[in-house]
Amino acid sequence: MTSYTYDRKLVAHLGETGGFVIVPDQISDAQKDHDRAGTVFAAYPCRSTGARESDEPLMVRLDGEAYGLWTPGTGDMIVREA
């Protein structure tokens, strides 16, 4: 099992609800690799500012197509519940 850190408090949009989650630093650093692999990871519900709202994680995966990951105009990260 992979260990992740959440030190940078990187925020992604939660596609289904319009909410926000904090994603692991390692996922953000290698978004294309994790999108391609369909990596499922724990993300923590938060406010848009990155203030954590819950210690109960959601299991999610990146939705690179939804935010243009594979294009020059990449937007903010979007994740979907796994």
pLDDT in tens, 16-53: 788 999 999 999 999 999 999 999 999 999 999 899 99
Cα 34 to chain center, whole Å?
10
Q: What is the Cα–Cα distance from 11 to 20, expressed in whole angstroms?
A: 6
What mean pLDDT is predicted for residues 53-63? 96
Q: What is the Cα–Cα distance from 61 to 37, expressed in whole angstroms?
A: 10
The pTM (predicted TM-score) of the whole model is 0.91
What mean pLDDT is predicted for residues 71-81? 91
Contact present, 79 and 12 (Cβ < 8 Å): yes
Q: What is the pLDDT of residue 2?
A: 81
What mean pLDDT is predicted for residues 68-75? 89
What 3-state class would DSSP assign to 14?
A: strand
What mean pLDDT is predicted for residues 2-28? 94
Structure tokens at 13: 């949009």
